[in-house]
Amino acid sequence: MLISLNHRKLYQDYYEKRGEIPARPNQWLARMEAVAEQVDAKTVIDYGSGPSHSLSAFSRLKVVDYDPGVDECSHLPGCQADLVVSIHALEHIEPECIDTVIDHMIGLARKAVLVVVSCQESTKLLPDGSAWHSFVKDAHWWSVRLSGFQAQPTIKDVGLEYAALKLCQS
């Protein structure tokens, strides 16, 4: 299971209540495009994109948005992409789904997977009062869980986020 129906509904209700979120470039856009160039990626899946289209609206690459908590992005990608990117999404995953989600991302990638995860609590709450970041772990935990990935420099201060890249077998 990638997400429970309850968790999906919580995020859909959150975004519905919040209203339209304007598109703005993601702070990781340049790094994502550099990785894409490194692995010669032409197609990208933004896994856990949210409603802001922060990569797809601004990238020179073909980016498909996927996010089960956002109605217009909730359809599973029907095919692989060269690069799968997940930026600040894994901290929103239910603990019992995290391994399945990571395996799903790897299965969708032909060339590489870039993961950036927040390692800090959020002050935002979902409509039921639960934490916006439902799965917060420190950088060491993520480095162990993503042991087949190579740690990458982060944009935020050390310890606030963890970034890792996995090159897939060709």
pLDDT in tens, 69-97: 898 999 989 899 999 999 999 999 999 99
Q: How far apart are CA 111 and CA 169, in angstroms?
A: 7
Q: How far apart are CA 132 and CA 61, in angstroms?
A: 30
**Residue 64 belongs to domain with CATH number:** 3.40.50.150
The model's pTM: 0.96
Contact 45, 74 (CB under 8 A): no
**Alpha-carbon distances, residue 120 vs 55, 115, 134, 137 (angstroms):** 23, 16, 11, 8
Contact 54, 84 (CB under 8 A): no
Range of the domain at 96: 5-167
Contact 167, 148 (CB under 8 A): no
Question: How many domains are contained in the chain?
Answer: 1
pLDDT in tens, 14-38: 999 988 888 889 999 999 999 999 9
